[in-house]
Structure 1
Amino acid sequence: MILALALLTLALAALPACLAAINLSILRTPEPEPEAPGLVSILIPARNEAGVIEGTVRAALASAGIAIEVLVGDDHSTDDTATIVRRIAEADPRLRLVAVPDLPEGWTGKNHACAMLAREARGDLLLFLDADVTLAPNGVAGLAAHARRANVDLVSGVPRQLMDSLGERLTVPMIDFLLIGYLPMALMRLSPDPSLGAACGQMILMRADAYRASGGHAAIRTSLHDGVRLPRLFRGQGLRTDLVAGHALATCRMYRDWPQSWAGFSKNAREGMATPRALPIWTVLLFGGHVLPWLVLVSALLASDSSASWIAAGAALLSLATRAAITLVVREPAATVPLHPLTVCTALAIQWNALLRPARAGVAVWKGRRYPITALPPVP
């Protein structure tokens, strides 16, 4: 029995190891073109972002190698967000502050703000950027160049994730780990299947005409997970999407502590893994490949089963090696690698909590707004 479990854990650890090896070999940081035609509209929805908005806006305005405009949507902020943006705009006409209208019924806040910004945008390309994302000087030009060279309608990348607290380090690394370790990117580029669509909602560039033809954020107005919904929306309409390495294009610090991290990843769990059909499968894949090897190793050692011990140890080391390779490439803190089994357990705890909590508690609270998660449509 222990030997069979050890072999199972090895197989489950080998799956993300093989996918990560392939994905890391084809995932590249896009290089900007010498002369980039057209205009990119950088669209930043902001609600009470006074602590970060100045750095985000100034970095966007410092974009090199391509013509840009920057639109910040003030979504009823009660802090100094709007004041800060107005002050910067006085010295740079490329920056505009857009007052987001009251939130209509049936919309989530970010989608509504993004839709309003898209209406005001003049660019051929639209780059939707979270207010806590700091662009590198060549970030916009690199994304735009890739969209043209690869002839895709939507391209996204995961910014380099900054994290200091333990809560962040137990949650945030799963973004890159899941994308690189479990998404078959080569197949994604070959197949138009909507289920293979993926993006990072922190930084998504789209062709303006494709965005409007697809319905854009209005078509996913009830969603809290644009990183899943938008690429699947595009693919469902015959449009092409892609992923690039984003760690050299921008940085982001999503959260500051454990409560923020838990709440942030919980709010969109029901549109990701936390469905009755998907979560048991993900639990087998993640727990079986990254936590169970350590438990089997201990059991095999206690039972003096040398064959099972060696196999389980190999599975455990393969799991850590996969995580270490991804961490090294995306430039996340090396100290998060030994935490990997706990990180997987934390991710599964968030997902199961989101799935199993009573319906009366099925409300996501974000940026001071409450959204009924039970009303969200299923992911295709």
Structure 2
Amino acid sequence: MDLDFTWAWIALALATFPATMGVANLILVRPPRGTPPEGALVSILVPARNEAPNIAACLDAALASAGVAVEVVVMDDGSTDATAQIVAGYAARDARVRLETAPPLPAGWTGKVHACARLAEAARGTHFLFIDADVRLAPEAAALMAGHAAASGATMVTGVPRQAIGSLGEALTVPMINFLLFCYLPGGGRAFTRRSGMAAACGQLLLVEREGYFAAGGHEGVKGVLHDALALARRMRDHGLATEIVEGAGLATCRMYDGFRQSWAGFIKNAREGMATPVGLPIWTVMLAGAHLWPFVFLPRSAAILALALGFALRAAVTLRVREPWWTIPLHPATVAVALAIQWAALVRGLLGKPAGWKGRAYEPV
């Protein structure tokens, strides 16, 4: 038997799996729907550490929210720039804005998780909408997410904002978020997938109902993690609460990072709580490399050509759906390769005992 022929067909099989799941999830994951319940108040909660370049635009967008009452609470988490002063200026002009100051970081906590926990304690709303300072909410986002929670019965509603990509380095890293969500997560994080292992969440845009949040222990229950949104979604499902992914591109925009170096550092800090485990990463490597990189080795075999065509078609469908730049599509194989490189680098760092770092803080591997 021709060995190359056999391996080419294995590559095609590996490419067919995400293609099938991607088509299903592109149908399943929809924009939020519903009307907020009477008396709803959405607390828009922003943890901020040295966010002076971002915070004003973030507040402007949040304060433009329509369709539901909102308050905006910013937790200044040890900033050494003008973040607190900018927020204080907004608070002096608009009673809906409050500035809080995070207490010193306790042992065993990661910084953002601690700030989010303190934000929840300070919030007055019926719903908590956690966002990052680099997120720009659409005016209807808070109302739609609270309405979807009411209509669907989901305690958590979350989505990935439209990712603004302004450099090659971002194009080689950021698109994998949506690609993995749509193509490798059974059910796409919808509420009918009750198992905690099938949960998904994006900390850039995450709404939770107040009562369910505290019933599940909130951020207190995930205090030592870096990937807090995913951990919180899993914890809520473990407590019998529904969590749901919705299409987020119409709800907000976000530019996560600025260039390759920052993107690499940002993704590597969360990797150990995702793919980068000694058992999981070899499996992920076979699945991703086998489907999207391996077929190049076996060109011009027809199975290899078909595998690559499936991969690029799938990437194009996801990219257009989530409104990311079209010019990132031809970079797809390089994006997969970079994603695997980040995961392996994170795993090696973890095995060597090197701490993860972000915003001037270092955290030991969990």
Q: TM-score range by the shorter chain?
A: over 0.9
* Secondary structure in structure 2 of the residue aligned to 1:204: strand
- Of 178-187 and 357-366, more deviation after overlay is shown by 357-366
Is 1:313 the counterpart of 2:315? The answer is no
Specify the alignment match of 2:349 in structure 1: 357
Report the AA paired with residue 338 of structure 2.
Answer: T
Aligned pair partner of 2:64 in 48, 55, 62: 62
Report the AA paired with residue 367 of structure 1.
Answer: K
The unaligned stretches of length 5 or more in structure 2 are none
Specify the alignment match of 1:324 in structure 2: 316
Is 1:338 the counterpart of 2:319? The answer is no
Aligned pair partner of 2:111 in 103, 109, 120: 109
Say if 2:194 and 2:237, in contact at 8 Å, map to a contact too: yes
Return the alpha-carbon distance in structure 2 between the equivalents of residues 221 and 31 of structure 1. Answer: 32
Report the AA paired with residue 196 of structure 1.
Answer: M
Cα 1:155–1:278 change in 2 (3 A) is: same
Specify the alignment match of 1:14 in structure 2: 16
Cα 1:281–1:359 change in 2 (3 A) is: closer
Specify the alignment match of 1:306 in structure 2: none
Say if 1:159 and 1:246, in contact at 8 Å, map to a contact too: yes
Cα 1:170–1:270 change in 2 (3 A) is: same
Say if 1:267 and 1:364, in contact at 8 Å, map to a contact too: yes
Specify the alignment match of 1:144 in structure 2: 146
Specify the alignment match of 2:222 in structure 1: 220
What's the % identity of the aligned pairs? 53
Return the alpha-carbon distance in structure 1 between the equivalents of residues 295 and 233 of structure 2. Answer: 34
The unaligned stretches of length 5 or more in structure 1 are 302-308
Return the alpha-carbon distance in structure 2 between the equivalents of residues 26 and 145 of structure 1. Answer: 18
Return the alpha-carbon distance in structure 1 between the equivalents of residues 226 and 275 of structure 2. Answer: 13
* Secondary structure in structure 1 of the residue aligned to 2:47: strand
Cα 1:10–1:194 change in 2 (3 A) is: same
Specify the alignment match of 1:207 in structure 2: 209
Say if 2:18 and 2:183, in contact at 8 Å, map to a contact too: yes
* Secondary structure in structure 2 of the residue aligned to 1:51: helix
Is 1:242 the counterpart of 2:244? The answer is yes
Kindly provide the CA deviation profile for residues 183-240 of structure 1, in whole angstroms up to 9, marking residues without a partner as x.
1117853342110111011111001111111111111111000132011000111111
| CA apart distance, 1:357 | 3.0
Say if 1:153 and 1:240, in contact at 8 Å, map to a contact too: yes
Say if 1:174 and 1:343, in contact at 8 Å, map to a contact too: yes
Say if 1:32 and 1:138, in contact at 8 Å, map to a contact too: no
- Of 35-44 and 173-182, more deviation after overlay is shown by 35-44
Return the alpha-carbon distance in structure 1 between the equivalents of residues 44 and 190 of structure 2. Answer: 26
Q: What TM-score, normalized to structure 1?
A: 0.93
Cα 1:331–1:295 change in 2 (3 A) is: same
Cα 1:36–1:253 change in 2 (3 A) is: farther
Report the AA paired with residue 243 of structure 1.
Answer: I
Specify the alignment match of 2:53 in structure 1: 51
Report the AA paired with residue 231 of structure 1.
Answer: A
Return the alpha-carbon distance in structure 2 between the equivalents of residues 62 and 363 of structure 1. Answer: 39
- Of 322-331 and 18-27, more deviation after overlay is shown by 18-27
Specify the alignment match of 1:366 in structure 2: 358
Report the AA paired with residue 21 of structure 1.
Answer: V
Return the alpha-carbon distance in structure 1 between the equivalents of residues 194 and 29 of structure 2. Answer: 18
* Secondary structure in structure 2 of the residue aligned to 1:321: helix
Q: What TM-score, normalized to structure 2?
A: 0.97
Task: Within 5 Å, give how 1:144-163 maps onto structure 2.
Answer: 144-163=146-165
Is 1:79 the counterpart of 2:81? The answer is yes
Root mean square deviation of aligned Cα: 1.4
Say if 1:36 and 1:66, in contact at 8 Å, map to a contact too: no
Say if 2:49 and 2:78, in contact at 8 Å, map to a contact too: yes
Return the alpha-carbon distance in structure 1 between the equivalents of residues 164 and 207 of structure 2. Answer: 21
| CA apart distance, 1:19 | 0.9
Aligned pair partner of 1:88 in 83, 86, 90: 90
Kindly provide the CA deviation profile for residues 115-150 of structure 1, in whole angstroms up to 9, marking residues without a partner as x.
001001011111111111100001111111111100
Kindly provide the CA deviation profile for residues 294-334 of structure 1, in whole angstroms up to 9, marking residues without a partner as x.
2221xxx4xxxxxxx11110110110000000000000011
Return the alpha-carbon distance in structure 2 between the equivalents of residues 328 and 153 of structure 1. Answer: 29
| CA apart distance, 1:31 | 3.6
Say if 1:32 and 1:65, in contact at 8 Å, map to a contact too: no
| CA apart distance, 1:277 | 1.1
Specify the alignment match of 1:181 in structure 2: 183
| CA apart distance, 1:257 | 1.0
Say if 1:50 and 1:84, in contact at 8 Å, map to a contact too: yes
Return the alpha-carbon distance in structure 2 between the equivalents of residues 313 and 161 of structure 1. Answer: 30
Report the AA paired with residue 351 of structure 1.
Answer: Q
Return the alpha-carbon distance in structure 1 between the equivalents of residues 291 and 353 of structure 2. Answer: 31
Return the alpha-carbon distance in structure 2 between the equivalents of residues 226 and 268 of structure 1. Answer: 9
